[in-house]
Structure formats: C-alpha cells, structure tokens
Amino acid sequence: MKFLGQVWLDTEKSSRVSEEEWAEVTQECIVSDDRWRDSGHLLSALALYEPERAVTLRVRNGAVGATDGPFAEIKEHLGGFVVIEAGDMEEAKAIVSTFPILKYASIEIRPAYSIKDGR
C-alpha cells in the first residue's frame, strides 16, 4: 500500500527556528530519507516553499482564475510531503515515526491510491 505523509509546520514556531537548526535537521532528514529509500519504503519526498509563494487556481463562471499566496493568516502550513510504501497503517506509522522533521512538525499519514487503478 502507498501512504502520503503530509508534513505540517506551525507557521509561527517554524519562523523562529534558526538557520543552523534547519541545516542540522535537513541533514538528518537526508540521511533518514536515503535509508528509507534504500529499503524500498520511501518513494518520494519533497519540501515545499512557504505559502506566500503559492498560487491557487479556481474555476469561476467558466473561467480559470489565479490567486497568489494564502487567503488568511494560517496557524499551520504544509511544509512538504512523503510518499511511502508500507504493508499497512501500522508499518506506515512505524516508518514515519522515525522521521527527524517530527521535532518541528506533525505528519498526517493517509492511505493513497491511483485513480487510474482504483482502490
């Protein structure tokens, strides 16, 4: 089974983390990602830029419109994601519980599937 892990950062707290701390946890994450990738469990992992760099698309009255950045102040923001392969939710939780970014974030784990292949 595939699982999506969404990395949620507390916007205010993460803005107070020093560059040195981020560099340290980034190195820890690289080592962890490499280990899980080598074991065949980690399929993809990407960090996301801050919400201010986002663009949201919507269809209104038949036309696509774009809005820059977030709509309001947000307490948490999506900071990245991982896609892992695990036998079940318990294994997915065991894998994600070792991710170093948990020091600074919460990670929502959700079963995932290909819409082409169905459930």
- 91-110, pLDDT tens digit by residue? 999 999 999 999 999 999 99
Cβ atoms of 109 and 89 closer than 8 Å: yes
3-state helix, strand, coil in the chain (%, to 5): 35, 40, 30
Write down the mean pLDDT value for the chain: 92
9 token code pair = 């950062």
Instruction: Compute the distance between CA of residue 87 and CA of residue 94 in angstroms, rounded to an integer.
Output: 11
Longest dimension (CA), the chain: 48
- 38-83, pLDDT tens digit by residue? 999 999 999 999 888 888 888 999 999 998 876 666 789 999 999 9
Q: What is the pTM of this model?
A: 0.87
Instruction: Compute the distance between CA of residue 34 and CA of residue 31 in angstroms, rounded to an integer.
Output: 5
More confident residue, 28 or 55: 28
The SS3 of residue 86 is coil
Check whether 116 has a pLDDT greater than 90: no
The CA–CA distances, whole Å, from 106 to 58, 80, 85, 102 equal 28, 11, 19, 6
